Copies of this chain bind each other. A is one copy, B any other.
Amino acid sequence: MLKITKRVEYALIAIRHLQENQDVLVSVSDISTAYGIPKEILAKTLQKLASSNIVKSYKGPTGGYKATKKIAKTTLNDFFEILEGPTAIMDCYFQDGCDHLNSCNIRTPINKINDSIRNLFNNLTLADISQ
């Protein structure tokens, strides 16, 4: 439990690779072959990051991706939520209803744990974890 997904893992790899190669445009294939990541998944992952301006995309031959200045300022929470949606250890944290309709006795603990995690991730940037 409490695992990150491959998508997040691949996104981290890609971002770090782009940061280390800021002078050139890097294609999905480049990263895919360099790290042994399935091309299509990596493509879709980078598309999500591009739509949030974490990276910039360029179409056509000689096209590819570039790192943006926004990366360093992005919090872990934003990064995770762009890729995987709301950060929540249980769905009830964001949903209206509770999973134990009649007699839920864990709302408080669940919320406290979740608040702690979100607070942690909101105060850590991608720059922080790269050093």
Contact = CB atoms under 8 A, between A and B. Distances in A.
Q: How many copies does the complex hold?
A: 2
Most buried by B among A2, A4, A8: A2
Nearest to A36: B100
Nearest to A128: B112
SS class, residues of chain A in contact with chain B? helix
Interface residues of A, number: 42
A13 B98 CA distance: 13
Interface of A: 1-5, 8-9, 12-13, 16-17, 20, 34-36, 76, 80, 84, 87-90, 99-100, 102-103, 105-106, 108-110, 112-113, 116-117, 120, 124, 126, 128-131
